[in-house]
A and B are shown apart, each in its own frame.
Chain A
Amino acid sequence: MKNSGNIIKKIILSAVFPILMFVVMLIITASNDKCYVNGKLIFLSTDLIRQVIVNSCMTVCVALAIWLQLKNGRFDFSGGASMILAAIIAGNVGLMTNSPVMALLAAVAVGIVLSCVTAFIYIVGKLPIIICTIGMTLLYESLTYLVFGGQGIRIFYSQAHTSVFGRIPGVLVPTALAVAAFVIFTYFTAAGRKGKVLSNNQRAGVNIGIDERKNVFVTYIFTGIIIGLAAIVYVSQNEVTPQSGLATSGIMFSYIVPVFMGTFIGLASCDVVGIAIAAVGMEIMNYGLNCLNLGAGGWQQIIMGVFVLGFYTFSAQSDKIQAFVSRLTKKNTTAV
């Protein structure tokens, strides 16, 4: 990313995906009379933009939280659970204080605390990350039954004045913060650089003199911030009920596709842009599917599955990736 002309070219390359997605969905919907209400094509309603933006913001927040751990070499199951728990607490705080800002602060605070606890158990227990985070997920999920009488949080998002961070323009605030947190950590902080080193050659990194425990802790603090921000968006858009049986990991999985795709698209620019763009593309697709009334059915699941497989297949061919990037446009056409 040295000269700006280069990066612009890259971003344009990346932008191909959502544009393509838009065109494809437009064609599909336009050719389907289900999608016309008294002659108007609902896919092109202003609602499209609102929905895409709102949902993309949610997706971006969660995806960043997942990706921050992934790119540091850890697959963290507990992100979803932390988010749900933070959401519940934040929502209730928000209701009590009747202030979305308080809710946001609470969410971030809780997010950080939970992440730190996870990091602490991970470091002290020296457990394999997946096992450790499965355990923490179970723990946090069980807590959702114990906080606020296990009520979860219902009416936070259904009240216009509390759920501002779930709608335009409010939703842009936490998203922007999340992106900022991610970018600052990855590209500016020492911890971020160390994390990069560790993820690429853990043992060497430690031998050279990086304090891995400290680094993990710092990384988790930033993850916590992002998770908190994701939580506030989530609780502003959804009813949050107590979860169990690792259901939260399902919630997290449901946002992981943009991570895969994002990192792939991101090859053409940087990962944040990639994830954001992937999210937008996905949401355009989702909206199109909704217009086709495939939005919530089995088909949507299957299409998702195909996407996971397809995109991961591409990004997995790491040796050929550079070639892909050069022919990105063509590849995408075949991918969709």
Chain B
Amino acid sequence: MKKALLKKISAVLLAGAMAVSAVGCGNSGGNTSNNNAASTDSGTGAGDSGSAPAVEGKKCTIGVAFYQDTGLAVDSTKAYLESLSDTLNVKFTYTVLTQTDEAANLTKIQELISSNVDGIICTMDLGMTSIIQECEAAGVYLGGYLCDYDTSFNTAYDQVFKSEYFVGTAIDGQSPDDVTIGNSMFDSLIEYNERNADAPITHVSMAIFPTWAFPSQQTGADQFVAAVEAYNATAETPITVDPLDEESDVLAFAPLDTTYFAKHADSQAIISFAAGSAFVYPTMVQAGVDSSLKLFTTGFDGGEEANFGTTGNGTYQQNMVTAPESITYPLVLLLNKINGVSFPDQPAEAERISTAQYVINSDEDMAKFQKSCFYTKNAANAMYTPQDVLNMTAYGNPNATYADLKGILSSMTIDSIK
């Protein structure tokens, strides 16, 4: 029955998973200002004028539909958004989508629209075709966040991405178009081995989410294997990778099963493309292998630092997350639409842009990370001030370009933390 239960709550856990692979926080190297949002004075001026510098945008409401109702990620994102509220003259309202029930999601969106929102940021790729129809009908703009909209991208590209009401989405680092996670995992592994040349990891196993949910993870895994093979060709201590076991290594949003360890008896480390903190690590603790096995994984739930790198059991050797500031991308695009302006270099069709992951490899990285607002849940540590964000909008700053906006997404790396 236990497993049945886990299955039941898997939907909620998926949310956890996404939270983990979702949000991190840092500061762009360029930007040194870290004064609190509230204190920043925003410009004044007629709402809808699209050109005057530093003008205040039209007063509007934006609904944010999260993928889960709680968690560090959600809180830090909320904190960041709220800090922007005054300056951007935007009121944010929130709701929660399910991972598995289209009809429920549609209702949630409809309720948002009913409560008079002008734009919606949606973090779940479920029932998108009907949702976009609602938005078109109600004249409400829709932006995507954290989700690659792969299903919609493949099955409903015309309805969704070509719709003038869909502004585009910022993905948590793993757009199927350009997968990097496999390589970065490999780099982290090598970096570990260099640090611990005396006891390098020579045998690893992997874990991923099902392809239907995160196709990029399968790609990432292949990428990793390829990288290892390339390395083995030259290396004196080759690394063995257990091939993905269709059943035990693919987590259908239920925690890793303990038989995993029996099946990968010789493995020294688990490379989890799936959200390891939520789905792999606990099982390791239950099975008592958390001190003998290392874990490289996407995601950060809070608490990992206690066993990261050289601290605690040192189970975690790598964590990978995304910054909540990346929500700026859909937000700015929405604001442009609402204020009836657009970038000179705005592409004709909505895009899905992957954000830079940042990768916590070492104690130093972790130390940096703990200064971030993801960890502190404090918008004061946010990468951009409200003014910065306002300057990214086409109406707030005539010189703002789409390219710049895209640029910020790739700038969020661990090293950019002061």
Contact = CB atoms under 8 A, between A and B. Distances in A.
A296 B70 contact: no
B382 to A, nearest CB: 20
Contacts of B71: 151
Interface string B341-365: 0000000000000000000000000
A286 B2 CA distance: 8
Contact of A158 (B2, B13, B262, B281): B281
A40 B278 CA distance: 29
Given A151-B71, A239-B16, A293-B247, A42 B262 contact: yes
A45 interface: yes
A42 B248 CA distance: 13
Interface stretch (B41-49, B282-290, B329-337, B385-393): B282-290
A160 B258 contact: no
B247 A34 contact: yes
B262 A59 contact: no
B9 A251 contact: yes
A155 B301 contact: yes
B59 interface: no
A204 B139 CA distance: 67
Interface string A10-46: 0000000000000000000000001001101010010
Interface stretch (A1-9, A50-58, A328-336): A50-58
A296 B3 contact: yes
Interface in A238-285: 238-239, 241-242, 247, 250-251, 254-255, 257-258, 282-283
A250 B9 CA distance: 9
Nearest to B301: A154
Contacts of B69: 145, 150, 242
Contacts of A159: 285, 303, 306-307
A31 B199 CA distance: 39
Contact of A160 (B261, B277, B290): B290
Main DSSP-derived SS at the B contact region:
helix
B8 interface: yes
A254 B5 contact: yes
Contacts of B162: none
A43 B52 CA distance: 71
A149 B74 CA distance: 12
B254 A59 contact: no
Report the interface size class on chain A: 35 or more
A237 interface: yes
Given A37-B263, A155-B303, A241 B70 contact: yes
Nearest to A255: B1
B226 interface: no
B64 to A, nearest CB: 16
B257 A290 contact: yes
Interface in A278-311: 282-283, 286, 289-291, 293, 295-297, 300-301, 304
A54 B285 CA distance: 13
B257 A241 contact: no
Contact of A241 (B1, B2, B9): B9
B282 A239 contact: yes
B415 interface: no
Given A47-B261, A160-B285, A154 B302 contact: yes
A291 B259 contact: yes
B75 interface: yes
A98 B215 CA distance: 39
A42 B1 contact: no
Contact of A59 (B2, B68, B263, B303): B2
Q: Which of A45, A158, A247 has the most CB of B within 10 A?
A: A158
Given A154-B278, A296-B6, A296-B7, 5 more contacts: A239-B13, A239-B282, A251-B9, A254-B5, A282-B1
Interface of A: 34, 37-38, 40, 42, 45, 47, 50-51, 54-55, 58-59, 145, 149-152, 154-155, 157-160, 163, 166-167, 237-239, 241-242, 247, 250-251, 254-255, 257-258, 282-283, 286, 289-291, 293, 295-297, 300-301, 304
Interface of B: 1-9, 12-13, 15-16, 68-71, 75, 247-248, 252, 254, 257-259, 261-263, 265, 277-278, 281-282, 285-288, 290, 301-303, 306-307, 313
21 contacts: A37-B265, A45-B262, A47-B287, A50-B287, A150-B70, A154-B16, A155-B301, A158-B277, A159-B303, A160-B290, A160-B313, A166-B286, A167-B286, A239-B13, A286-B2, A290-B257, A290-B258, A295-B3, A296-B3, A296-B6, A297-B252
